[in-house]
Structure 1
Amino acid sequence: MVRLLRPFGRAVTYTRWLHLFMAVVWPAMWWYVFDPLWAWFTAVVLLAFAGLVPAMRTVEGLQARLLLLGQRHDSRSAEIVTAPSVTWGDRGRTTLWLMTRLAVGCAVSFLTIHLPMLTDDLVRTAQGGSPDPATFIQVPGHHWWYTLLTPLPPIALAAVVVASGQLITGIAQRLLGPSPTERLAALEERTEQLLERTRIARELHDSIGHALTVAVVQAGAARAAGDPAFTDRALSAIEETGRAALEDLERVLGVLRESEKPVSGRPTLTDADRLLESARAAGAKVDAELTGPLDTVPGPVSREGYRILQESLTNVLRHAGAVPVQVRVKVADRSLDLEVRNPLAAGIPGPGRGSGLRGIRERAALLGGRARTGPDAGDWQVHVELPLR
């Protein structure tokens, strides 16, 4: 019983009822002024033309979201589109929706008026009176037991209200819902959002991971050295690396706060000296060779190349410590070659530490390049090739 009565405690049940009534108000006014057949024919023709207006889809979509779904931003709101019609298919579905809403609204309005009249007729005839001739069901005779039937019309009306509301909501989701083209566009937008989240997570992993690694290595070396001058240099390196990490963190958080904010200020390979100096300050003996015009490398390739170099140096510091490192960056006509090598005996990434290497391979793959990581001729090697076009 509670389940049957639950819909009548929800406001959306009555807003759906109102939505159907609103579709019939203006044709009904014409019905009282003009010939009924002419009034309904005119209403159908006008709705057919109205459905071809692109903005009508927006009006009906907003109204359906508010009155049929009960909330302006309901979790199902995406099932009803508020964008104007673009294709003739959208216009056709909007027209069909207007016709359907008018037909269902007429039926519900008729029953809403005549079922209470039927209840009144049952009471009047049970008391010996005459039924209203306008009632769609005429009650014959005068019988006392008609009083027992009086609850049936209100129950039927309640069922009509709930069922018609659910019916018109389902029809709205089909006819005012997104077209296949719009569904594909929404899917592509969702995919872009997921890719952006993955990229942001990777950015934080590389930037913050590098800063923390440098800070830990520098702090440990300063404590072991016991030299005030070395400690000052270590603290300076920690400060600089931490400041750069905070800048990256603030930039990423800005992107998260404002989804439409353009991504700018990301470091590129022209800023590679900062990474190399940070690694040297942490104790690594970096031998770097950068050849070719780094400033001509396309933005996406240069930014991802910087992150790959950052992650490679971070892995060296984290797993190998202060060891000789060879860095080779070469800009050719069609590709960017980046290689980082360190002695294999000094240390390799341990179990469960492969997220950074996986990130390197994913970055390269997204740009159509390739990455090789692993032992090579006694060294641990990260070799990445990225196409420039």
Structure 2
Amino acid sequence: MDSSSFFQTAYHALSNAVREFFRARKVDKFTLSIVSIIVVAYTATDIVTLFVEQDPDIRSRTSNSANAALVFLAATGFMWIRSTVAGVIAMSGLALSLTIHEYSYAIIVTPLIFAVLVATANRIFIGAFVAACAAWSIGIWSTWPDDRPILYFSIPLLAVGALIGTLIRRGWNTQARHDAELEEMRIRQIEASSAERLSIARDLHDIVAHDITIIAMQAQAASFSKNPELAKQSLEVIGQSARNTLQDLRLLLNVLKSSEEAHFSDKSLTHEEESAATGASTLTLRRSIDQASRQLESIGFRVIEKTSGDLDALPRRIQVAMHRILKEATTNILKHAASESSCTLRVEVVDGNVLLKIENQKARATNGNGSFSTKSPSAGLGLGSISDRTSSLGGKLDVIQTNSTWRLEVTVPIRGIEL
């Protein structure tokens, strides 16, 4: 290993160690506690010496040392509160130490304060503190030539303080970015969960609403019908619709199972589940149109069915979406169209687009005064579901109303949709 690789490895190791130590929320309190204890003990020693010592020269030197000690002790204390205030006090302590020719506290405390400033202060204040340290070093070099060896210790200690402060600042920034990423992931997860709940609600509505509407209307028709054959047909439609709903619900629940649950599950699919899966895999848009026509005709509607283009060649995703849209539109016809009226189901492939047009006559209801009004479908979850499915395919939804008709037009581009 060459020297550059060694120093790079050592730097990364030290950086990771400091970052992890700081991340554990120990570096600030631990370091400040140790330095504060040292400065307090050193200051107490000077103060005790000042009162005990009888030699005037020693008392004079001790007095100067005690004065510097009090200043740097104040700087150390303010590091617990505000680093910039500690920096200002430390700069005044440097000037005092140069005046009284006492450097021990400056050598001990200044590197620590420098490290804290590099980690917390802005660049302007850091530059001012560096300038003060440089002026202090120049002052010693020019004023006290005999004390120049002190700089051989103080300057490397200041460099170490700058390095530690830089590592701490990087650790802070890394932690802040990590927290921001976690918050962004949390927000995305909430949005994804909300979208998933909306998707599940939409699928449940699409699955249940249509067949339940068929069941309710056929049950009502059977209860009022005096023809046993028609009542029997209604009961058969009710049974088939109930089986379709059950199959679709089981398929949806099976899709919602996690892969882990599926892996540990030793239960095989029932016959109904296999039938639902098979039906889903073989679904075509043409079959969906025929199914919707038969269901409407079974209720008494006169259906005009029109198709053009190669519907079987459409991408799978479009066929499934159109199937859901057809079911929802059929449900709206059952709920809101005039009984036994005519309706039109038209699907065309034109100029790279799939066009779905559904038109029906509105039902008329009395207002209580003998006059009639036309009922309009409400823009509830059903129409919202159609809009969502259309938008997900990059398509366009138009709802056109007249006094007597309701027309739904869906246009979906084929290009760009995966098979």
Q: How does 1:102-141 map to 2 (within 5 A)?
A: 105-109=26-30, 138=44
What secondary structure does 2:348 align onto? Answer: strand
Is contact 1:337-1:384 (8 Å) kept?
yes
Uncovered stretches (5+) of structure 1, i.e. residues with no partner: 1-42, 52-93, 119-132, 143-159, 161-166
Structure ID, larger Rg: 2
Q: In structure 1, how many angstroms separate the alpha carbons of the residues matched to 2:9 and 2:379? A: 68
Counterpart of 1:319 in structure 2 is 336
Counterpart code for 1:208: V
Uncovered stretches (5+) of structure 2, i.e. residues with no partner: 1-5, 50-79, 81-167, 263-276, 366-373
Residue 268 (structure 1) shift? 4.9
In structure 2, relative to structure 1, the CA distance for the partners of 1:96 and 1:314 (3 Å cut) is farther
What secondary structure does 1:289 align onto? Answer: strand
Counterpart of 2:405 in structure 1 is 379
Counterpart code for 2:348: K
Counterpart of 2:323 in structure 1 is 306
Q: In structure 2, how many angstroms separate the alpha carbons of the residues matched to 1:298 and 1:291? A: 16
Q: In structure 2, how many angstroms separate the alpha carbons of the residues matched to 1:136 and 1:252? A: 75
Q: 2:12 aligns with which of 49, 53, 58?
A: 49
Q: In structure 1, how many angstroms separate the alpha carbons of the residues matched to 2:192 and 2:233? A: 43
> Would you say 1:362 and 2:325 are equivalent positions?
no
Q: 2:19 aligns with which of 98, 119, 125?
A: 98
> Would you say 1:269 and 2:285 are equivalent positions?
yes
Using the aligned pairs only, state the percent identity. 26
Residue 108 (structure 1) shift? 3.5
What secondary structure does 1:368 align onto? Answer: coil
TM-score of the pair, normalised by structure 2 = 0.51
Q: In structure 2, how many angstroms separate the alpha carbons of the residues matched to 1:360 and 1:311? A: 7
Q: In structure 1, how many angstroms separate the alpha carbons of the residues matched to 2:260 and 2:394? A: 26
What secondary structure does 2:300 align onto? Answer: coil
- Between Structure 1 and Structure 2, which shows a larger proportion of helix residues? 2
In structure 2, relative to structure 1, the CA distance for the partners of 1:102 and 1:201 (3 Å cut) is closer
Counterpart of 2:296 in structure 1 is 279
In structure 2, relative to structure 1, the CA distance for the partners of 1:111 and 1:205 (3 Å cut) is same
In structure 2, relative to structure 1, the CA distance for the partners of 1:261 and 1:206 (3 Å cut) is farther
In structure 2, relative to structure 1, the CA distance for the partners of 1:49 and 1:239 (3 Å cut) is same
Residue 367 (structure 1) shift? 1.9
> Would you say 1:342 and 2:360 are equivalent positions?
yes
Counterpart code for 2:233: R
Counterpart of 1:329 in structure 2 is 347
Is contact 1:97-1:172 (8 Å) kept?
no
Q: 1:176 aligns with which of 174, 178, 185?
A: 178
Residue 314 (structure 1) shift? 0.6
- More moved, 348-357 vs 213-222: 348-357
Counterpart code for 1:289: K
Residue 385 (structure 1) shift? 1.4
Deviation string for 1:44-72 (max 9, x for gaps)? 96564259xxxxxxxxxxxxxxxxxxxxx
Is contact 2:202-2:385 (8 Å) kept?
yes
In structure 2, relative to structure 1, the CA distance for the partners of 1:106 and 1:44 (3 Å cut) is farther
Residue 209 (structure 1) shift? 0.8
Q: In structure 2, how many angstroms separate the alpha carbons of the residues matched to 1:114 and 1:96? A: 20
In structure 2, relative to structure 1, the CA distance for the partners of 1:227 and 1:260 (3 Å cut) is farther
Q: In structure 2, how many angstroms separate the alpha carbons of the residues matched to 1:95 and 1:306? A: 57
> Would you say 1:237 and 2:237 are equivalent positions?
yes
Counterpart of 1:201 in structure 2 is 201
Residue 224 (structure 1) shift? 0.5
Residue 213 (structure 1) shift? 0.7
Counterpart of 1:64 in structure 2 is none
In structure 2, relative to structure 1, the CA distance for the partners of 1:184 and 1:334 (3 Å cut) is farther
What secondary structure does 1:240 align onto? Answer: helix
Is contact 2:400-2:408 (8 Å) kept?
yes
What secondary structure does 2:179 align onto? Answer: coil
Counterpart code for 2:399: T
Residue 96 (structure 1) shift? 9.6
What secondary structure does 1:290 align onto? Answer: strand
The count of residues paired between Structure 1 and Structure 2 equals 270
Q: In structure 2, how many angstroms separate the alpha carbons of the residues matched to 1:103 and 1:355? A: 50
Counterpart code for 2:352: R
Q: In structure 1, how many angstroms separate the alpha carbons of the residues matched to 2:23 and 2:230? A: 83
Counterpart code for 2:232: D
Is contact 1:334-1:388 (8 Å) kept?
yes
> Would you say 1:222 and 2:222 are equivalent positions?
yes
Residue 331 (structure 1) shift? 2.2
Is contact 2:349-2:355 (8 Å) kept?
yes
